[in-house]
Amino acid sequence: MAAPSARIDVSLPSVPEVGADVIALDRAVLEWEKAACRTLVGLAIGAIAMLVAIGPAIGSELQLAEILLATIAMIHFMLFRHGLDVLGAQQPARHTALVVLRWCGATLEVSFASFATLIVLRVHGAAWALTSPVSMIHVLGMIAAAFRLQPALTIYATILAATQWMLVYYLMIAPGLDPALVAELPTLRAWAAWEQTVWFVLIGLFLVVASQRLRRLVLANSKQTRLRKFAEHELERLVSVDVATRALAGDLVPGASERRWVTVLFCDLRDFTALCEHRRAEDALVILNAFYERACFIIRAHGGHVNKFLGDGVLALFGAPEDHDTHAASALECARQLVRAADELRAQGGVWEELQIGVGLDTGDVVLGALGSSDRLEYTAIGATVNRAARLQALSATTGRRIVLSARTATELDATQSLLPLGEARIKGVDRPIRIYTPR
């Protein structure tokens, strides 16, 4: 007995591990960070424009110093984005370097507020530095850390912001305050600095909780997306993309149906029962799988939908579930390609030497819907057109033609399709003889 000359991989793809969700999340965060860097560069440019506009109010010395700091911040975000591009492309080998880059970036981003406060202190004194809004830039650094969806990094940024602010206040601002001015303006007292610190901590806690919950949400969504894609992949191996989408949406229910005008293609392997009598079952399976692999590709390439496999036959629809303006012509060309595929396999010899196929085509109304019970459904086509296509395929053996089509299908074709009339034939279930054709 000759060994099978083809092998078909019928193993199912395994569901990716949960770690794939984390990897997908990390990649999403990386792209998010790059987008955030572009936005922050824009904010730095906006800050420079604002400083130019308010120059007369704050003085030229403070204006130039703050513009310089904003320029440094802009360069930082540009370089940080470049670092993400370089290190992100090399993950996971450079994962540690990427983590270090993020923590160093968060440190510098939070520290920009302290640098700005020290500049104000040097130019306009302690009172101005304590009441200046530049210290709130700390919050922007904390938000930038939270965008990375890493709670530990957000906690670090919050602690760093509060610590830097208190150090700047007690070491630099408080010693320079005029006691008389402090007595006159209570907002210059220590409680004001502590109040700001409390706000930093509260905002930081909010950002930590938000980043943690958002991370869990993204992970859960990633898992659901992964499982849905896996389910779609498996369903699409059984039914068309359109049917798989309907199934996942819960639209396929017993009794739901639609009527469509389609061309039905029925392809059958001739004398397959006799072939199985003197071949091993493994050889028969190889023949079926190898031919169906080619047949499904050809049918899909011509806009058809493989409706079902019937042992040694395949039923395909052209014009449903998706619309197809030239379904008859596409079905006929598909039939020609199926015949060529069978010829190519038969030319290989071995288990293929006896491979013969017949194809029947008919055009008409079919009813499409879910057939079965509430717990076991099959999406299928019902109607006389389906039955006629199967009968026409059977006529291919008696007429000596491998493709036989009905007059209905012939009328759907344009004048460029050259057909050979085969006269009239009686088929089971039809009262009157029908005219049949074959391609020249």
Residue 408 binned pLDDT confidence (cut-offs 50, 70, 90) = very high
Residue 16 reports pLDDT greater than 50: no
Strand partners, 262: 364
pLDDT at residue number 200: 92
- Rounded Cα–Cα distance for residues 280 and 301 (Å): 32
Residue 2 reports pLDDT greater than 80: no
pLDDT at residue number 352: 76
323-355 confidence digits (pLDDT tens): 888 899 999 999 999 999 989 888 887 777 777
pLDDT at residue number 1: 36
pLDDT at residue number 333: 94
pLDDT at residue number 11: 38
- How distant is the alpha carbon of residue 292 from its chain centre? 28
pLDDT at residue number 73: 87
Q: Is the separation of the CB atoms in 204 and 157 below 8 Å? A: yes
Closest by CA to 36, choosing from 86, 91, 106, 93, is: 106
Closest by CA to 318, choosing from 329, 305, 300, 308, is: 305
Residue 18 binned pLDDT confidence (cut-offs 50, 70, 90) = very low
pLDDT at residue number 13: 41
State pTM to two decimals: 0.52
- Rounded Cα–Cα distance for residues 316 and 283 (Å): 25
Please tell me the least confidently modeled range out of 36-40, 138-142, 235-239: 235-239
Q: What is the mean pLDDT of the chain?
A: 81
Residue 55 reports pLDDT greater than 90: no
3-state secondary structure of 261: strand
Who wins on pLDDT, 11 or 218?
218
Closest by CA to 393, choosing from 381, 406, 404, 378, is: 404
Who wins on pLDDT, 219 or 240?
219
Residue 376 binned pLDDT confidence (cut-offs 50, 70, 90) = low
Looking at residue 32, its amino acid is: W
pLDDT at residue number 243: 65
The three state secondary structure string of 217-255 is HHHHHHHHHHHHHHHHHHHHCCCCHHHHHHHHHCCCCEC
Residue 358 reports pLDDT greater than 50: yes
Who wins on pLDDT, 276 or 259?
259
Q: Which helix (H) or strand (E) holds 186?
A: none
What percent of the chain shows pLDDT beyond 70? 82
Please tell me the least confidently modeled range out of 204-208, 220-224, 237-241, 367-371: 237-241
Who wins on pLDDT, 130 or 18?
130
Please tell me the least confidently modeled range out of 127-136, 244-253, 269-278, 305-314: 244-253
Residue 93 reports pLDDT greater than 70: no
Average pLDDT of the segment spanning 43-60: 87
- Rounded Cα–Cα distance for residues 243 and 238 (Å): 9
Looking at residue 331, its amino acid is: A
Please tell me the least confidently modeled range out of 29-38, 248-257, 385-394, 414-423: 248-257
Q: Is the separation of the CB atoms in 126 and 177 below 8 Å? A: yes
Who wins on pLDDT, 8 or 214?
214
Greatest mean pLDDT among 7-11, 284-288, 388-392 lies in: 388-392
Q: Is the separation of the CB atoms in 265 and 360 below 8 Å? A: yes
Average pLDDT of the segment spanning 110-120: 89
